[in-house]
Amino acid sequence: MTQSLIPPKAKEMIGAETPLGGPLEVEKGAVLKLAQALQDSNPLYADENAAKRSKHGKLMVPVTFFDYNVPSGDEREITWQIPLTLKNRVRGKDEIELLQPIYVGDTIKAKSKVLDMSEKEGKTGKFVVIVAETEYQNQHGVVVMRHRITSIRR
C-alpha cells in the first residue's frame, strides 16, 4: 500500500480559516489600472459620469481586483500553511460569487477557509486538490463576494 500524499496534519487543516485580514480601501487609480491591463472597457470602472448615470450611481470594481490586492486574509495565506511535501502549485479553477456590488471607495477585508483536500491520480502521477474559499466583507460588515479557488499541488 502506498503512502498518502496528504499526511494527517494536513487533513486536520480542513475547516481551518484565517482571521479577518487587514483593510483595503479601493482606490480609483488602482481600479483604472486593472481595467486597462485587462483591456476591459466597461465604463462603470472608468467613467465617473457613466457610472453616475447607471443604477449604481458610482464607479464599480471588477471582481478580479481582489485576487492579488487584499493585504491579508486571502486563500494563499492559509493554503501555503498546509504541511504537504508537494511544492508545485497551479490554480485549477476559480468560482466567483458576487453578492453585492463593490464600489470605488469601499473598504474590503477578507478571510479564507480550507474547504476540502483530496488526493487524485492523473496520467503523470498523484496530486493533491485543495479547495479554499475567500469571503470578502465591506466596511459595513456585509459579505459582498465569495471566491472559491481550487488549486493543485504536485
Task: Please give the Cα distance from 114 to 123 (Å, whole number).
Answer: 26
Residue with cell 491520480: 121
pLDDT by residue (tens digit) across 24-57? 999 999 999 998 898 988 999 989 999 999 999 9
Where are the chain's structural domains?
8-25+65-153
- Cβ atoms of residues 146 and 97 within 8 Å: yes
pLDDT by residue (tens digit) across 50-93? 999 999 999 999 988 988 788 888 888 888 899 999 989 999 99
- For residue 59, give every residue at least 6 positions away whose Cβ sits within 8 Å of its Cβ, in sequence order, or none: 28, 31, 44, 45, 46, 48, 51, 103, 104, 105
Q: Which residue type sits at 22?
A: G
Angle at 113 between CA 112 and CA 115, to 5 degrees: 140
Task: Give the CATH class of 8-25+65-153.
Answer: alpha beta
What is the rounded (10 degree) CA torsion for 118, 121, 125, 131? -30
